Amino acid sequence: MKRSLISLCAGVLAASLLIPATAGAEPEVEPATGTELAGKTVFLDPGHQGSSEGHDLSRQVDDGRGGTKDCQTSGMTTIGGVPEHTITWNVTQLVRSGLETLGADVVLSRADDTGWGGCIDERAAAANASGADLAVSIHADSTDAAGDPSKHGFHMIVPALPIPNPAADAAQSGPGLEASTMMRDAYLGAGFTPANYAGVVDGIQTRSDVAGPALTEVPLVFVEMGNGSHPDDAARLESTDGQLDHAIAVTTGIVTYLLTGGQASAAPAAPGTTEPGATVPGTTEPGTVSPGPVTPDENPLSLESILAMLSDLLAAGGLTGLEEIVNSETIGMLSDLAGELLATVLAQLE
């Protein structure tokens, strides 16, 4: 019964996202063939690790800019008590399944949510070795362990330019920035709100102190899904349906880039960016990038309303919510929802 109910919900989810070409027209969604992303490789990095036993988190490693940083951190814990490493792992599993449904090869930075996941330089090296068309590092932020109701929202971290490593600079100043902007737009389209703190501009934050982008020689998107200190952000990060929200947004951003992007190069600079070393008016840090205009959501149905519809269907089937059908055995079935959504995205991109 659960499998058939999930299939029904997936159909409703996909149909709800389509905008009919003419009034009264029946929306049609061509099912994914499983080959749309054939030949593409995606490196997924679920932030942090389940355990650091036997490892020194403060061991200094290359930061990509001539200095050093701590090998790794333990990650934040939401005000509801859920660790970041578990949130990022769950979201990554949904994203992975959706991408593999479309034929992509997916490489993970860590094998599970119980053991060690590697230092920041080791994860960057693994991304480089994978030769991925795109790498995505999935994280969540925190501003105050005691709670912070004033700061909320998602953002993408992009590196200050130029990056000393020419290969990393070429990857991040062109296609990496393009992919980050597309991911930002996917989050906006899914109904998420850009962060209102830490110098974030239209969902993009430029930083020179994050080692990953400075060490990664394939295009990288660094996602901060929300602020675990904010009550609403934390609730969404902690819940199964909220994690599905994030997974769908991340997967949509990846698919959009792989099918329509990847054309940017380090020189000349893409629209809305700066040449390496330039300064954007109103900023003080060299290499700060401008994300360009925010793309409005043209879909009248928000992801939140669609998930509410999904919850109603589950309740009608005798289930009280997504939590009752999601566990380590059924997470793959639930990710079929993301696969159906991807079919819709593909149809709209044609």
The tens digit of pLDDT for each residue in 252-296 reads 999 999 998 765 433 333 333 333 333 232 333 445 554 554 443
Gap between the Cα atoms of 9 and 314, Å rounded: 8
CA 135 to chain centre: 10
CB contact burial 131-145 (16+ within 10 A = b; e otherwise): ebbbbbbbbbbbbee
Which pair of tokens denotes residue 31?
Answer: 């099912």
Gap between the Cα atoms of 320 and 239, Å rounded: 14
Query: What is the percent of the chain with per-residue pLDDT over 90, rounded to a whole number?
Result: 62
DSSP states of 279-334 as a string? --TT--STT-----PPPP---SS-HHHHHHHHHHHHHHTT---GGGT-STTTHHHH
In the annotation, is 224 catalytic?
A: yes
Backbone angles phi, psi at 207, to 5 degrees: -140, 150
| Domain range summary for the chain, segments of one domain joined by + | 34-349
Tell me how crowded residue 279 is: count the other CB atoms within 10 A of its CB: 12
Question: The whole model's pTM is what?
Answer: 0.76
Q: Would you state the pLDDT for residue 344?
A: 53
- Give residue-wise pLDDT tens across range 96-128: 998 998 999 999 999 999 999 999 999 999 999
CA torsion sign, 175 to 176 to 181 to 187? positive
pLDDT top residue among 147 and 279: 147
Q: Would you state the pLDDT for residue 304?
A: 44
- CATH architecture of the domain covering 34-349: 3-Layer(aba) Sandwich (3.40)
Which pair of tokens denotes residue 101?
Answer: 């449904």
Q: Would you state the pLDDT for residue 198?
A: 97
- Give residue-wise pLDDT tens across range 183-236: 999 999 999 999 999 999 999 999 999 999 999 999 999 999 999 999 999 999
Span 23-32, mean pLDDT? 50
Catalytic residue among 178, 224, 238, 340: 224
